[in-house]
Amino acid sequence: MNVGFIGLGAMGAAMAANLLKAGHTVTVWNRSPEPAAALAAQGALVAERPADAAQGEAVLSMLANDQAVRAVILDGGVLEAMPSGAVHVNHATISVALAKELVAVHAQHGVGYVAAPVFGRPDVAAAGTLNILAAGEAASIEQVRALLEAMGRRVWSLGEAPERANVAKIAGNFMLAAAIESMAEASALTRAHGIEAADFLEVMTSTLFAAPAYQGYARLIAERRFKPAGFTLPLGYKDVSLALAAGEAARVPLPFAGVLRDSLLEALATGDPDRDWSALSQVAARRANLPDD
């Protein structure tokens, strides 16, 4: 297929590369030029403006947040540039409010819209084994299925209302944050009673919690290795805020999210914001006055 890809951060670049490998013609755009150049070396065409990447059968975008989606997609002329019948696949983790707004705007422009946030870090994206949560009209999803399958291990269908994929992504990230906080508190408790965090977490993540989400973060917590960050504290704060906003919209109290909000704020107030969000373990230790070494 002839497609565009907008937003070439660590995730987007890896995803676009997999589209190229799968034989698609990909026109890329990124705010800064270097990542586009790297993809050009793999066969991508480079667009000068976002709208120039939007003239194929589909345009995929992987942007950082609500603001970036507004600036690039809505104010960048992308929808206006898309041919009638083309589909926009939005991989960003965005708010439910913006998700609903986008549904209306795409309809006005007569173009298809699929929300397709993903689970997986850059190495998973590079391996083409992302889990992709897809929601949108069935015909639109079918139209881009080959693209999604080139990037992901599995495409999970969440129905016709695109915002549902965003809610599920937000809820999933909330569960990740809660998993980190629960390890942070549990290992502060066991450390205070004389057990090394590494020893306790090894037991847990080899048994009941033998899941990727736990194993990766347990290692960071045990080794107190928070930089370079896979996912920074401000990004974690952003995602917990999206969960709280989604809860507000539907009037769902989320007490764990409230605790996470405060723990993340404390992490930001008391230490380097560029740490990985597994540094929540430093907040739990700090509250108990445990040594940080």
Q: How far is CA 27 from CA 23, 34, 39, 111, in A?
A: 13, 15, 10, 19
Judged by CB, which is closer to its own copies: 60, or 246?
246
We find the least distance from the C-beta atom of residue 114 to its own copies, in angstroms, to be 16
We find the least distance from the C-beta atom of residue 237 to its own copies, in angstroms, to be 8
We find the least distance from the C-beta atom of residue 188 to its own copies, in angstroms, to be 5
We find the least distance from the C-beta atom of residue 90 to its own copies, in angstroms, to be 17
Judged by CB, which is closer to its own copies: 38, or 249?
249
**What is the rounded CA–CA span in Å between residue 179 and residue 156?**
22
Q: Which of 8, 98, 257, 279 binds its own copies (CB under 8 A)?
A: 257
104 binds its own copies (CB under 8 A): no
270 binds its own copies (CB under 8 A): yes
Judged by CB, which is closer to its own copies: 46, or 249?
249
End-to-end C-alpha distance for the chain, whole angstroms: 53
Q: Which stretch binds its own copies (CB under 8 A): 50-58, 77-85, 107-115, 266-274?
A: 266-274
Site for its own copies in 206-245 (CB under 8 A): 206-214, 243-244
**One of 100, 169, 227, 238 is an active-site residue; which one?**
169
Number of residues near its own copies (by CB under 8 A):
75
Judged by CB, which is closer to its own copies: 176, or 235?
176
Q: How many degrees, rounded to 5, is the angle at CA 261 between CA 166 and CA 221? A: 95
11 binds its own copies (CB under 8 A): no
Judged by CB, which is closer to its own copies: 37, or 290?
290
**What is the rounded CA–CA span in Å between residue 72 and residue 49?**
9
What residues pair up with 218 in beta bridges, in sequence order?
none
265 binds its own copies (CB under 8 A): yes
Judged by CB, which is closer to its own copies: 30, or 93?
93
**Residue 21 falls in the annotated catalytic set:** no
Site for its own copies in 111-170 (CB under 8 A): 119, 131, 133, 154, 156, 158-159, 161, 163-164, 167-168, 170
1 binds its own copies (CB under 8 A): no
Site for its own copies in 163-202 (CB under 8 A): 163-164, 167-168, 170-172, 174-176, 178-179, 181-183, 185-190, 192-195, 199-200
We find the least distance from the C-beta atom of residue 136 to its own copies, in angstroms, to be 14
Which of 117, 239, 129, 128 minimizes the C-alpha distance to 176?
239
Site for its own copies in 40-99 (CB under 8 A): 96
Active site residues: 169
